[in-house]
């Protein structure tokens, strides 16, 4: 395979030992397989949308120029739906932004935040001139992902829902007629200044539609975020916008199928998953969980992961027997979209900032509800009964034992 090879753990590596992402593997196979075999591999890796491959979107030269000048990955593909006789197509253009931090974590906090704003401005402009209707940023985009250092000084990055970052994004929302999902570290001024991991939904008129707070908080290795905030209290809201019904499943919530389900039961057509996750922890799960959620719940999923390695001034430990260290590992980017028909886009770079754009016909959501009948066959009452029993202290699992299992041992 020329200068690239598959390592023992399944990752694709180059001759110099650097790791390639899922999309790089796809490109590698394209270059090394016969066309007919590549088409079959592509079908298995990326699925088929309405029986065919996803089509590339031709973007304005101004968007491409911003990508070239500011060195960020730019990809754009289109999902289709079958034509219907009684409904017009409901095509919406959606964008995801992944980015690294802009300056070292040792810099003054105000400088760090401003540098991230400056870095994102041309990327948001690119989304705007490309006609993106709904744009989602990554988890805690205004700051380094410092939560698991357990140092309280990083709390200074917290801000109210109508704070500096929201005001910054409201200008773009109004300028480009664009809904923006902004995940921040929220400081709840009205309730004792407690903090939450929150996504703010900014309407296309620059108004604040609402917010959602992260439902599931990890306590895994370095990612023990309960030092800063606890599980959210906003339920599973779906936000009805002029472009469609959207929801936000923040980061660790993607590991919980019931979390995905609840957004679907509330009517979501697109669910965003803004994240901050590193290669050694979750990368094998990354292309699977969101895609499965899109299939099982008949909606589109936009998966966003930050990119780069963030090094902190003071070493920390994680309680998992690893020696103290100054970083979490590499945030592997790889942002992408998944559709209810099991098709998905290639991913953005594993190493670079990037903007992923997709046109999606929301009619596909109902079409696949009709085709697979998952809602009709779900048997919710059976699981409601089990869950109602499970949460009680006297719950006993429904286990039927072989009567001979313990007889011989007595």
pLDDT in tens, 26-79: 667 667 777 777 777 778 778 899 888 899 999 999 999 999 999 999 999 999
- Residue 214 annotated in active site: yes
Q: How far apart (Å, rounded) are the C-alpha atoms in residues 189 and 366?
A: 41
Q: Which of 84, 143, 97, 136 is nearest to 312 (CA)?
A: 143
Q: Tell me the Cα Rg of the chain.
A: 22
Mean pLDDT of 13-38: 59
Asked which of 22-36, 108-122, 311-325, 362-376 is least confident by mean pLDDT, the reply is: 22-36
User: What percent of the chain is predicted at pLDDT more than 90?
Assistant: 80
> How do residues 227-274 score in pLDDT, each as one tens digit?
999 999 999 999 999 999 999 999 999 999 999 999 999 999 999 999
Residues in the chain: 410
Residue of 139, 159, 289, 310 marked active site: 139
Q: Which of 204, 199, 68 is nearest to 126 (CA)?
A: 68
pLDDT of 393 above 50: yes
pLDDT of 399 above 70: yes
pLDDT of 104 above 70: yes
Residue of 113, 211, 214, 245 marked active site: 214
Q: Which of 215, 132, 225, 226 is nearest to 177 (CA)?
A: 132
Strands 134-136 and 91-98: parallel
**Taking the CB of residue 331, how many other CB atoms lie within 10 A of it?**
26
Q: How far apart (Å, rounded) are the C-alpha atoms in residues 250 and 276?
A: 9
With tokens 């620059």, the residue in question is 206
pLDDT of 218 above 60: yes
Q: Which residue did the predictor score with more confidence, 222 or 125? A: 125
Mean pLDDT of 116-139: 98
> How do residues 305-356 score in pLDDT, each as one tens digit?
999 999 999 999 887 788 999 999 999 999 999 999 999 999 999 999 999 9
Please report which confidence band the pLDDT of residue 221 belongs to, taking 50, 70 and 90 as the band edges. Answer: confident
Architecture of domain 2-378: 4-Layer Sandwich (3.60)
Sequence spans of domains, the chain: 2-378
Strands 12-13 and 19-20: antiparallel
Q: 258: which 2 tokens? A: 């019931």
pLDDT of 20 above 50: no
**Taking the CB of residue 127, how many other CB atoms lie within 10 A of it?**
29
Asked which of 3-17, 227-241, 356-370, 381-395 is least confident by mean pLDDT, the reply is: 3-17
Q: 136: which 2 tokens? A: 């989602």
Tell me what pLDDT residue 24 has.
61
CA 87 from centroid of its chain's CA atoms = 30
CB-based contact 101:144 (threshold 8 Å):
yes
Q: CB under 8 Å to 121, separation ≥6 — which residues?
A: none
| pTM for the structure as a whole | 0.92
> How do residues 267-289 score in pLDDT, each as one tens digit?
999 999 999 999 888 999 999 99
Tell me what pLDDT residue 409 has.
63
- Residue 289 annotated in active site: no
| 3-class DSSP state of 264 | helix
Please report which confidence band the pLDDT of residue 22 belongs to, taking 50, 70 and 90 as the band edges. Answer: low
Q: How far apart (Å, rounded) are the C-alpha atoms in residues 26 and 232?
A: 37
With residue 325 as reference, give the H or E element that holds it: strand 325-332
Tell me what pLDDT residue 157 has.
98
Residue 274 bridge partners (DSSP): 304
Mean pLDDT of the chain: 91
Tell me what pLDDT residue 19 has.
41
**Taking the CB of residue 387, how many other CB atoms lie within 10 A of it?**
10
With residue 150 as reference, give the H or E element that holds it: none
- Scanning 224-360, the segments in alpha helix (DSSP H) are 257-265, 279-282, 286-297
| 3-class DSSP state of 252 | helix
Please report which confidence band the pLDDT of residue 12 belongs to, taking 50, 70 and 90 as the band edges. Answer: very low
Q: CB under 8 Å to 410, separation ≥6 — which residues?
A: none
Print burial letters for 140-174: b (CB count within 10 Å at least 16), e (below 16): bbbbbbbbbbbeeebbebbbbbebebbebbbebbe
With tokens 């974590």, the residue in question is 105
Strands 270-275 and 300-305: parallel
- Residue 139 annotated in active site: yes
Mean pLDDT of 105-114: 98
Residue of 20, 136, 148, 251 marked active site: 251
Tell me what pLDDT residue 4 has.
41
Please report which confidence band the pLDDT of residue 8 belongs to, taking 50, 70 and 90 as the band edges. Answer: very low
Mean pLDDT of 354-383: 97
10 Å CB burial of residue 125 (0-12, 13-18, 19+) is middle
> How do residues 140-190 score in pLDDT, each as one tens digit?
999 999 998 999 999 999 999 999 999 999 999 999 999 999 999 999 999
Please report which confidence band the pLDDT of residue 406 belongs to, taking 50, 70 and 90 as the band edges. Answer: confident
Q: 180: which 2 tokens? A: 């923006």
pLDDT of 18 above 50: no
């Amino acid at each position: 395979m020329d200068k690239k090879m598959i390592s023992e753990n399944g990752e694709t590596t180059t001759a110099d030992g650097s790791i390639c992402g899922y999309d790089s593997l796809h490109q590698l196979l394209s270059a090394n397989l016969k066309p007919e075999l590549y088409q079959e591999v592509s079908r298995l890796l990326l699925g088929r949308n309405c029986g065919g491959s996803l089509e590339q979107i031709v973007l304005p030269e101004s968007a491409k120029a911003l990508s070239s000048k500011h060195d960020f990955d730019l990809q754009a593909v289109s999902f289709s739906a079958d034509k219907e006789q009684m409904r017009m197509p409901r095509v919406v253009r959606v964008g995801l932004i992944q980015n690294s931090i802009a300056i070292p974590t040792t810099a003054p906090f105000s400088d760090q935040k401003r540098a991230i704003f400056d870095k994102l401005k041309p990327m948001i402009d690119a989304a705007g001139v490309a006609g993106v209707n709904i744009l989602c940023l990554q988890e805690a985009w205004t700051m380094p992902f410092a939560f698991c250092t357990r140092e309280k000084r990083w709390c200074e990055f917290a801000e109210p829902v109508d704070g500096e970052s929201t005001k910054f994004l409201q200008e773009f929302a109004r300028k480009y007629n664009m809904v923006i999902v902004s995940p921040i570290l929220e400081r709840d001024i009205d309730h004792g200044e407690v903090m939450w991991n929150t996504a703010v939904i900014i309407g296309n008129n620059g108004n604040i539609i609402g917010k959602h707070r992260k439902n599931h908080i990890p306590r895994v290795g370095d990612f023990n975020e309960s030092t800063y905030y606890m599980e959210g209290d906003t339920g599973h809201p779906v936000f009805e916008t002029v472009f469609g019904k959207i929801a936000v499943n923040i980061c660790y919530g993607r590991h919980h199928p019931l979390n995905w389900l609840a957004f679907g039961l509330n009517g979501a057509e697109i669910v965003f998953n803004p994240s901050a996750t590193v290669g050694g922890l979750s990368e094998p799960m990354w292309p699977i969980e969101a895609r499965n959620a899109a299939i099982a719940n008949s909606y589109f999923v936009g998966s966003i992961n930050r990119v780069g390695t963030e090094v902190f001034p003071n070493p920390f430990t994680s309680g998992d027997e690893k020696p103290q260290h100054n970083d979490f590992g590499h945030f592997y980017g790889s942002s992408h979209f998944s559709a209810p028909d099991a098709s998905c886009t290639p991913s953005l770079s594993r190493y670079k900032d990037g903007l992923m754009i997709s046109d999606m016909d929301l009619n596909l959501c109902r079409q696949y509800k009709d085709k697979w009948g998952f809602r009709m066959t779900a048997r919710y009452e059976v699981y409601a009964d089990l869950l109602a029993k499970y949460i009680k202290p006297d719950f006993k699992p429904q286990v039927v034992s072989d009567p001979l299992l313990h007889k011989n041992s007595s």
